[in-house]
Amino acid sequence: MFNGTDEPVSGDTRTQTTAVLRLDDRTNEIISKRDGRVTGVIMNVLSEDHGRIDNTYLSYDEKGHITRKSTAVYERMK
């Protein structure tokens, strides 16, 4: 599942396939595509102490330009 292979997705009208790629022990990238074109990328980075995940979300238009960038931080509840 973390090998970067495009897999079919259902239930999302904007995405036909999603590929998950493990970049290192704490980082993975999720790439969404429609008609073979990248529509979105999510970068997940787990902190060294495993207490937080930092996410960066990128949306792309039909020409491959970034149209939106947002971030989120998720902290482990103790």
Q: What's the confidence (pLDDT) of residue 70?
A: 98
pLDDT tens for 47-65 read 999 999 999 999 999 999 9
- Contacts of residue 63, defined as CB under 8 A and 6 or more positions apart, other chains included, come to none
- Residue scoring higher pLDDT (14 or 5): 5
Listed in order, strand segments (DSSP E) in the chain are 7-8, 17-24, 27-34, 37-46, 52-60, 66-75
Query: What pTM was computed for the model?
Result: 0.88
At 53, which amino acid appears? I
- Confidence grade of residue 36 (pLDDT, cut at 50, 70, 90): very high
